[in-house]
């Protein structure tokens, strides 16, 4: 997936590199402007072109030329999760020209894949999401493909469900998920043998080749369009709600909880699911409950970011709530917070939610196996299903699988890999993504996961217990696991490969006082995984550090994991956390 672009080049008027190739640059900008159907981005280019032409040797002209270079020197590439980038003019930004080229290229790919393809299209509440979705529907219909657009802005999981439910060839979701407010994106799913999962290689490269062909040979106004597309009926949403609510039994003791949509599109769907599942109406964070493309109350609309849940904490404290449920803006992720001992709130990490939901899935599979075994057979051989997590997620889920005699699979980062694991029963990634119902949807689903977690809390409440108690039970049975993350945000995307190259050239021999036992370099091929820019560092005490570039943001991410099986459950938890804290202090100098 393409991430957001880095900082624009320097606007120094004396920098000759900014002026190099200006005639070709201006010609490219004019050609793009002339095929752009969007008056806002056309005006943006008009202003930049005029400034560049009027004063190529003064600061204003140099700034305009630098801005044009940033937009036209490269292009957002169609990767394994589609496109994502800043809204602005030019091929290195998200706009109607780029989306039209992507839609026409994707249409050509689908027509080459099957005789009578079909596609369902969804969109969230970000700026231009509905415009991009409508453009896609018209271009797909114009290419002779049956196109269906969801009736209004809806969560990504509803679109992923619709691909399977409607039996179509593909799906497109216009969303930038939890990216900054001025970003948007274009996520693609495939039906048929791909079962509604996101695309993986080689499909991404094949689609990109078609997009490049369209961009090189056709103008956007010349692409065939048609308004002869369908609008999906409400039955798609109704069935998603019905099946999601049916995941759990009605609770005997429903918790009092707070819900926030973080200015996204989750509330309408989540509200119906909560009600139908028997959890009633939550207290909502009123300032964040309706879609708002400006995301006015958060710096980044990501539940993992510091401060993103502050309004939820205040609302929950005022309401005397027992739990906070937060979806990200397109509702494919789930964040959970519970009361802490000091009277405040503690957000559970993605790994904590993942291993607790994974344990719940294993219990369910064991119960199903016992039912089969009751009529003959060994329980261990009757329990079947696979638990899966991305390689940067905690090793805890693998231990759950081992103790329940279940298969376990590690995948590369990204739910496109998790969702494709054979015989999948439950999968997650530490970045707040969970798949609790693979028969319904083949992507992370923050609403389904929310219902499962609510059901867990309700069952614990009925037994007079809490999530804290349940985590002690987990540590007693499986050992305690702790995880952490260090992220370094860069202003120049070229800094990322420099950091990775430096670590390869000068690998650490110790992290703190603990010796490094081995380093796996996924760029050289590890265990059948595709070649990837990932380093996995194993330490002598069993701890683990993984370093990789982010797939969606200009960051290098470091994942820290440790565990303990010594002492009481509380002592195990403290020991594992202390090991992670030591790793955190040790890895930061490596990224400076």
Alpha-carbon distance of 103 to 220, in angstroms, equals 11
The mean per-residue pLDDT over the stretch 21-27 comes to: 86
Residue 177 annotated in active site: yes
Res 7 pLDDT > 70? no
- Name which residue leads in pLDDT, 532 or 314: 314
Confidence (pLDDT) at 312: 98
Q: Please indicate, yes or no, whether residues 400 and 332 belong to a single structural domain of this protein.
A: no
542-548 contacts at long range (C-beta below 8 A, 24 or more positions apart): 543/511, 543/514, 543/579, 543/580, 543/583, 544/395, 545/511, 545/583, 545/587, 546/391, 546/392, 547/500, 547/503, 548/392, 548/413
Look at residue 92 and give its three-state secondary structure: coil
Confidence (pLDDT) at 466: 97
Q: Residue 36 falls within a domain, yes or no?
A: no
The mean per-residue pLDDT over the stretch 436-463 comes to: 97
Q: Residue 51 falls within a domain, yes or no?
A: no
Confidence (pLDDT) at 495: 86
Q: Please indicate, yes or no, whether residues 274 and 416 belong to a single structural domain of this protein.
A: no
Token digits for 252?
């005997």
Task: Tell me the average pLDDT of the chain.
Answer: 92
The mean per-residue pLDDT over the stretch 382-409 comes to: 94
Domain boundary among 331, 348, 365: 348
With cut-offs at 50, 70 and 90, classify the pLDDT of residue 531.
Answer: confident
Angle among Cα 259, 265, 268 to the nearest 5 degrees reads: 65
Contact 484, 581 (CB under 8 A): yes
Q: How far is CA 244 from CA 16, 81, 270, in A?
A: 59, 25, 10
Confidence (pLDDT) at 9: 37
Alpha-carbon distance of 490 to 92, in angstroms, equals 18
With cut-offs at 50, 70 and 90, classify the pLDDT of residue 591.
Answer: confident
Q: Please indicate, yes or no, whether residues 486 and 571 belong to a single structural domain of this protein.
A: yes
**For the stretch 324-359, what's the b/e string if a residue is b when 16 or more beta carbons lie within 10 angstroms of its beta carbon?**
bbbbbbbbbbbbbbbbeeeeebbbbbbbbbbbbbbb
Q: Residue 269 falls within a domain, yes or no?
A: yes
Q: Residue 44 falls within a domain, yes or no?
A: no
Alpha-carbon distance of 37 to 228, in angstroms, equals 20
Q: What is the pLDDT of residues 359-394, one digit of tens each?
A: 999 999 999 877 666 555 555 555 689 999 999 999
Q: What is the pLDDT of residues 78-112, one digit of tens each?
A: 887 799 999 999 999 999 999 999 999 999 999 99
Q: How far is CA 508 from CA 68, 480, 485, 546, 561, in A?
A: 41, 26, 18, 13, 17
With cut-offs at 50, 70 and 90, classify the pLDDT of residue 1.
Answer: very low
Q: Please indicate, yes or no, whether residues 86 and 169 belong to a single structural domain of this protein.
A: yes
CATH number at residue 400: 3.40.120.10
- According to DSSP, residue 87 is labeled B
Q: Please indicate, yes or no, whether residues 99 and 216 belong to a single structural domain of this protein.
A: yes
Q: Residue 58 falls within a domain, yes or no?
A: no
Q: Please indicate, yes or no, whether residues 105 and 211 belong to a single structural domain of this protein.
A: yes
Res 15 pLDDT > 70? no
Cis omega (within 30 of 0) on the bond before 377? no
Q: Please indicate, yes or no, whether residues 87 and 130 belong to a single structural domain of this protein.
A: yes
Confidence (pLDDT) at 352: 98
Res 16 pLDDT > 50? no
Contact 59, 118 (CB under 8 A): no
Which of 172-186, 362-376, 484-498 shows the lowest mean pLDDT across its residues? 362-376
Q: Please indicate, yes or no, whether residues 515 and 587 belong to a single structural domain of this protein.
A: yes
Confidence (pLDDT) at 554: 80
In the chain, the number of structural domains is 4
Task: Residue 569: name the closest of 483, 498, 471 by CA.
Answer: 471
Contact 239, 164 (CB under 8 A): no
Q: Please indicate, yes or no, whether residues 333 and 362 belong to a single structural domain of this protein.
A: no
Angle among Cα 134, 446, 383 to the nearest 5 degrees reads: 125
How far is C-alpha 525 from the chain's CA centre?
A: 25
Q: Please indicate, yes or no, whether residues 81 and 229 belong to a single structural domain of this protein.
A: yes
Confidence (pLDDT) at 8: 36
The mean per-residue pLDDT over the stretch 429-442 comes to: 96
The mean per-residue pLDDT over the stretch 136-165 comes to: 98
Confidence (pLDDT) at 54: 83
Res 426 pLDDT > 60? yes
Res 572 pLDDT > 60? yes
Alpha-carbon distance of 458 to 452, in angstroms, equals 10
DSSP for 273-319, please give it: HHHHHT--PPEE-GGGSS--TT-TT-SSS-TTSTTTTHHHHHHHHHH
Q: Please indicate, yes or no, whether residues 182 and 295 belong to a single structural domain of this protein.
A: no
Catalytic residue selected from 70, 177, 483, 564: 177
- pTM exceeds 0.75, yes or no: yes
Q: Please indicate, yes or no, whether residues 467 and 385 belong to a single structural domain of this protein.
A: yes
Domain boundary among 476, 495, 513: 476
- Name which residue leads in pLDDT, 97 or 54: 97
Which of 9-23, 66-80, 193-207, 447-461 shows the lowest mean pLDDT across its residues? 9-23
Res 576 pLDDT > 80? yes
Q: What is the pLDDT of residues 236-259, one digit of tens each?
A: 999 999 999 999 999 988 999 999
For the chain, percent of residues with pLDDT exceeding 70: 93
Confidence (pLDDT) at 494: 81
With cut-offs at 50, 70 and 90, classify the pLDDT of residue 427.
Answer: very high
What is the domain range of residue 445? 351-476
Q: Residue 126 falls within a domain, yes or no?
A: yes
Domain boundary among 445, 476, 507: 476
Instruction: Count the alpha carbons within 13 Å of 57 in the hemisphere toward its beta carbon.
Output: 0
Q: Residue 84 falls within a domain, yes or no?
A: yes
Confidence (pLDDT) at 343: 93
Res 273 pLDDT > 50? yes
The mean per-residue pLDDT over the stretch 28-37 comes to: 98
Confidence (pLDDT) at 590: 87
Q: Residue 69 falls within a domain, yes or no?
A: no
Contact 284, 246 (CB under 8 A): no
CATH number at residue 583: 3.30.310.50
Contact 94, 54 (CB under 8 A): no
Q: How far is CA 570 from CA 271, 482, 564, 579, in A?
A: 36, 12, 10, 14
The residue with tokens 């194993």 is: 538
DSSP for 141-207, please give it: HHTT-EEEE-SS---HHHHHHHHHHTT-SEEEEE--TTS-TTEEEEEEEE-GGGTTEEP-TTHHHHH
The residue with tokens 């798609």 is: 236
Confidence (pLDDT) at 592: 76
Number of residues in the chain: 592
Confidence (pLDDT) at 59: 85
């Amino acid at each position: 997936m393409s991430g957001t672009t880095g900082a624009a080049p320097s606007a120094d008027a004396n920098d000759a590199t900014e002026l190099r190739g200006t005639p070709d640059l201006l010609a490219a900008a004019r050609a793009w402007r002339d095929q752009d159907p969007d008056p806002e981005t056309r005006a943006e280019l008009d202003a930049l072109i005029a400034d560049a032409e009027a004063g190529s040797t003064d600061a204003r002209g140099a700034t305009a030329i630098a801005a044009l270079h940033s937009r036209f020197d490269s292009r957002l590439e169609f990767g394994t999760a589609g496109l994502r980038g800043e809204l602005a003019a030019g091929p290195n930004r998200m706009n109607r020209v780029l989306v039209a080229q992507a839609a026409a290229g994707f249409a050509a790919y689908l027509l080459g894949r099957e005789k009578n393809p079909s596609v369902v299209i969804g969109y969230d509440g970000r700026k231009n999401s509905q415009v991009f979705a409508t453009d896609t529907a018209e271009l797909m219909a114009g290419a002779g493909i049956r196109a269906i657009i969801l009736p209004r802005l809806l969560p990504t999981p509803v679109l992923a469900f619709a691909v399977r439910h409607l039996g179509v060839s593909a799906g497109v979701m216009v969303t930038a998920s939890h990216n900054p407010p001025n970003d948007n994106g274009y996520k693609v799913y495939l039906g048929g043998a791909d079962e509604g999962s996101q695309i993986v290689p080689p499909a991404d490269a094949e689609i990109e080749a078609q997009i490049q062909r369209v961009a090189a040979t056709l103008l956007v106004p010349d692409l065939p369009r048609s308004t002869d597309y369908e609008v999906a009926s409400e039955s798609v949403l109704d069935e998603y709600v019905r099946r999601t609510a049916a995941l759990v039994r009605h609770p005997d003791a429903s918790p009092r909880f707070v819900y926030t949509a973080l200015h996204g599109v989750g509330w309408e769907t989540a509200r119906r699911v909560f009600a139908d599942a028997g959890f009633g109406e939550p207290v909502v964070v009123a300032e964040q409950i309706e879609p708002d493309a400006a995301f006015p109350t958060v710096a980044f609309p990501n539940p993992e970011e510091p401060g993103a849940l502050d309004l939820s904490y205040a609302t929950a404290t005022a309401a005397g709530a027992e739990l906070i449920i937060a979806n990200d803006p397109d509702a494919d992720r789930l964040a959970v917070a519970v009361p802490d001992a000091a009277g405040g709130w503690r957000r559970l990490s993605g790994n904590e939610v993942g291993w607790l939901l994974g344990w719940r899935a294993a219990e369910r599979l064991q119960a199903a196996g016992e039912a089969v075994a009751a009529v003959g057979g060994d329980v261990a051989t009757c329990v079947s299903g696979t638990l899966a997590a991305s390689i940067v997620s905690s090793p805890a889920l693998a231990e759950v699988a081992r103790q329940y005699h279940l298969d376990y699979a590690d995948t590369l980062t990204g739910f496109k890999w998790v969702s494709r694991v054979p015989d999948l029963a439950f999968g997650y990634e530490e970045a707040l993504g969970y798949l609790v119902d693979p028969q319904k949807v083949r992507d992370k689903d923050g609403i389904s996961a929310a219902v499962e977690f609510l059901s867990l809390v309700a069952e614990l409440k009925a037994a007079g217990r809490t999530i804290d108690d349940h985590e002690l039970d987990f540590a007693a049975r499986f050992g305690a696991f702790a995880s952490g993350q260090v992220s370094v945000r860069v202003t120049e995307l070229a800094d990322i490969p420099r950091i990775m190259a430096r670590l390869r050239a000068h690998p650490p021999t110790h992290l703190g006082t603990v010796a490094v036992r081995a380093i796996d370099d996924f760029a050289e091929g590890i265990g059948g995984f595709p070649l990837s820019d990932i380093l996995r560092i194993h330490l002598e005490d069993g701890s683990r550090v993984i370093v990789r570039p982010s797939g969606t943001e200009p960051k290098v991410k470091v994942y820290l994991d440790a565990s303990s099986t010594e002492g009481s459950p509380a002592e195990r938890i403290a020991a594992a956390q202390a090991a992670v804290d030591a790793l955190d202090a040790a890895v930061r100098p490596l990224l400076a």
